Structure 1
Amino acid sequence: MPRSAAARRHRDDDTDEEELVDLTADLSLHSKRSERQRRRQQSRAARAASRSGAILNLPYELLVLMLSMLHPGDVVRFSAVNRNMRDFVHRERDNIANAIIKRRYRILERCFRLPVLLADVDPELHGDLQLVAREDIMAIHKRPYQHVPLPDPTLICTCLTCLLRWNSLCLVLDFAHWQGDLDQGNALPIIPRGKSPEWNHTLLSSHAALVREALADRLLYAHILQIQLNNTVRSIHRHAQNKGNQRRRFKLSKGDEAAETDQFLEASGPPTLDFPFHRDNYYMLEAYMPGRSWNGDEQRWMYMPAEQHNVDLKVVVRFARWKESEEAKKVRDSEVFLQELRYTNPLLDARNQQ
């Protein structure tokens, strides 16, 4: 091979071993067309911002009134439009929720009250509420239902009233979850006793999380009431189609359904006597309205007062004091027994003195 050819090949190998640097870059667009497109995008964004801001420029009372005409779920979606809407709804959510509840769910609110937070209970009573002997007595109301999650005793009050309130709110969400299967006539899944499948644990955890959020957010609480009204309407329709079911039920007209309020539940109807302790009770459940009973003499519903929580706290205190007296009595009885034993057995007394 000629030396010149070998030299060229050696130079080519050295060139291949050199590191290649990529100097390509995006071309900057400075055309008139791109500039017009950029201005159009800015104009659209400005118009969208002005349209959303125009709503917030309305008088405060008028804007709250407009939002109070919506469903709670619609108000939540309204708050997701932009940051300004979200801030306004977050700031005024209690006023908006109270107006919605007063207009749509006045009766449901009296049946499904929120449990009291433990932080709102006198700290001196926390020990009485968590007394071991009392926990054993209340076990019947805190049993691990398959369709209701257990409450957190460090978050809410565990008096009888608050436990029943927690169970009722969680039941609303679980009953709503199975409405589609009930409408279609599908059998609900059966969970063997003592078992807790993962899907059921996940479902109950989501229900408990929503109820916990509703304890601090009146708008979410109103949304739960909306869910219960939907449960009741769907259940009444479902059972009305069953011609063989001649049980007494609430009368639901087309006007009542179009109004989307709970006013029809004020009329006479079947009372809620028992807590649905199992999902099998969902098949025949129509209007679950706990905390009230029908007064035949006055022809109206009598509701459990909101102050029942305070009454139950007094019961808790009395039980704690009684338990303390019982424990003190046991100590006194044991001391008397030892004294009598020493009196009847001098040898034991002498041994103790040694």
Structure 2
Amino acid sequence: MSSPEPDYHIVTTDKPASRTARRKSPAQKIRSSTKGPNDDVVAAPTGAGADMDEPLVDHTEALALHSKRTERQRRKLAKKSLAPSPPATSRLLNLPCELLLEILCTLPPSALFTLLRVCKFLRAFILSEQRYIAKHIISLRYACLAKSFPLPVPIEAVPPALQARLQHTTRTDFMATQRPYQLVQPANPSVTCTCHACILRWNCLCIAVDFAHWQDNLDSGEPIPMFPRGMSPKWNRTLNAHVAAVVLKCIRSPLWYARVLEAHLVSTTRSIRRHGLNKGNKRRRFRMTEEDVRAGTADFLERSGPPTSEIPYHRDNYYLLEAFVPHRSWIKGEEQWVYAPADQHERDLDMMFNGDAGRKMNRAEGQAVDPQSDTRL
């Protein structure tokens, strides 16, 4: 039986393989030792450069960074990417000052008081431009109310010589004898002028603020608390002091003045609507539509209507009060409202100190006032 043939062949060459060719380079030794069973076999280069070392290939991978610092940075970047868009306030403040001013002039005063609480920059901007803003808002929305509710003149705006006459004991004692309204705190002679025009202006503004305070009672039908004449409970004194403080703010701040006019317009619209729902009330009233209410202006009060100059001297008059717009009268021949002159304050001062009343006071004090120099003679 013949033996199987071997599975190898003996190859002879002309020259025996050199010992240098049979040696492995260090890199080849490392690759052969780390080579796995499934790794691809790369043929060794042949030719003249077969005995040269192959270049090393760097197969190392970047180490993953795991530290508290990198984790904080990663969370911060993720939070920034998910952050919402900047608020509307920042976009509003990026507008030019002129454009921002025009936007503020179209807002109602109540919205401006809300914006005062948004940020310091917006508050400072509104307060610095409040005179310009309030002037445009009043001329746009409350023109007739501004003529019906002029502001009392502060005492520092009165000439010094006349200030002393207004604060003289003869006049202050006379004013103390006058019985004030239950719903109005008397004006302070050291703060505002006490001429006849300014006292009437003070009373009308106080009544407007007080009338706005009781609107919820009038709408719901809850009775307004009453008390005998000549008495003033603590809650009434507190309310009158609060109303007087609001009117003083109107004298100092144009924004507060515009806010009071807005509140009185709301009181007027609520009162007209309340009386309109009363089918038994056949009295003449102002024509007011829902468009007038939504417009937020007092233009509808320029239409013909019932007299509005009657002053409610008691809160009991609020129940029948529809529109309280003093200092004006309807001229039938001209078909328009005529308002009190804006210089009524100067006229009253001239009449008080240079007319018959002034001469009586001069005789009581033993002095006179020169109308040209406003100084004592």
Shorter-chain TM-score range = 0.7 to 0.9
User: Match for 1:323 among 353, 361, 370?
Assistant: 361
Q: Aligned partners of 2:153 and 2:78: how far apart in 1?
A: 54
Q: Aligned partners of 1:76 and 1:308: how far apart in 2?
A: 32
> Counterpart in 2 of 1:104?
141
Q: Aligned partners of 1:208 and 1:197: how far apart in 2?
A: 17
Q: Is the 8 A contact 1:101 1:109 kept in 2?
A: yes
> Counterpart in 2 of 1:276?
312
The CA RMSD measured in Å over matched residues stands at 2.6
CA shift for structure 1 position 87: 0.8
The secondary structure found in structure 1 opposite 2:252 is: coil
Cα gap change, 1:117 to 1:39, in 2 (>3 Å):
farther
> Counterpart in 2 of 1:239?
275
Q: Aligned partners of 1:32 and 1:194: how far apart in 2?
A: 79
> Counterpart in 2 of 1:248?
284
User: Match for 1:146 among 182, 204, 219?
Assistant: 182
Cα gap change, 1:37 to 1:322, in 2 (>3 Å):
farther
CA shift for structure 1 position 60: 2.6
The secondary structure found in structure 1 opposite 2:206 is: helix
Q: Aligned partners of 1:95 and 1:126: how far apart in 2?
A: 29
> Counterpart in 1 of 2:94?
57
> Counterpart in 1 of 2:130?
93
Within 5 Å, which residues of 2 pair with 1:174-323? Answer: 174-318=210-354, 319-323=357-361
Bigger mean CA offset, 58-67 vs 301-310: 58-67
Bigger mean CA offset, 124-133 vs 228-237: 124-133
Query: Which whole-Å deviations, capped at 9, do the CAs of 1:54-85 have from their partners, x for residues lacking one?
Result: 32332333212211111101011112111111
Q: Aligned partners of 2:343 and 2:230: how far apart in 1?
A: 36
Cα gap change, 1:87 to 1:187, in 2 (>3 Å):
same
Cα gap change, 1:44 to 1:61, in 2 (>3 Å):
farther
Q: Is the 8 A contact 2:310 2:324 kept in 1?
A: no
Aligned residues: 299
Q: Is the 8 A contact 2:331 2:338 kept in 1?
A: yes
The secondary structure found in structure 2 opposite 1:276 is: coil
CA shift for structure 1 position 184: 1.1
Cα gap change, 1:57 to 1:244, in 2 (>3 Å):
same
The secondary structure found in structure 2 opposite 1:294 is: strand
CA shift for structure 1 position 305: 1.2
Q: Aligned partners of 2:225 and 2:184: how far apart in 1?
A: 15
Q: Identity rate of aligned residues, in percent?
A: 44
**Residue 155, structure 1, aligned to residue 191, structure 2:** yes
Query: Which whole-Å deviations, capped at 9, do the CAs of 1:166-216 have from their partners, x for residues lacking one?
Result: 111111111111101101111110122333222222211111111111111
CA shift for structure 1 position 31: 6.9
CA shift for structure 1 position 266: 0.3
Q: Aligned partners of 1:256 and 1:83: how far apart in 2?
A: 35
Bigger mean CA offset, 302-311 vs 124-133: 124-133
Q: Structure 1 counterpart of 2:196, which letter?
A: L
**Residue 80, structure 1, aligned to residue 150, structure 2:** no
Q: Aligned partners of 1:326 and 1:203: how far apart in 2?
A: 38
Q: Structure 2 counterpart of 1:78, which letter?
A: L
The secondary structure found in structure 2 opposite 1:322 is: helix
Gap regions ≥5 residues in structure 1: 1-29, 330-354
Query: Which whole-Å deviations, capped at 9, do the CAs of 1:223-247 have from their partners, x for residues lacking one?
Result: 0000010010000000011111111
CA shift for structure 1 position 250: 0.6
Q: TM-score, normalised by structure 2?
A: 0.73
Cα gap change, 1:279 to 1:38, in 2 (>3 Å):
farther
Q: Is the 8 A contact 1:295 1:301 kept in 2?
A: yes
CA shift for structure 1 position 38: 6.6
CA shift for structure 1 position 86: 0.6
Q: Structure 2 counterpart of 1:149, which letter?
A: Q
Q: Aligned partners of 2:171 and 2:232: how far apart in 1?
A: 26
Q: Aligned partners of 1:152 and 1:39: how far apart in 2?
A: 63
Q: Whose relative contact order is higher, 1 or 2, with alpha carbons under 8 Å and at least 6 apart? A: 1
> Counterpart in 1 of 2:206?
170
Cα gap change, 1:70 to 1:327, in 2 (>3 Å):
closer
Q: Aligned partners of 2:203 and 2:336: how far apart in 1?
A: 25
Q: Aligned partners of 1:46 and 1:208: how far apart in 2?
A: 46
The secondary structure found in structure 2 opposite 1:261 is: coil
Q: Aligned partners of 2:69 and 2:304: how far apart in 1?
A: 75
Q: Aligned partners of 2:220 and 2:124: how far apart in 1?
A: 41
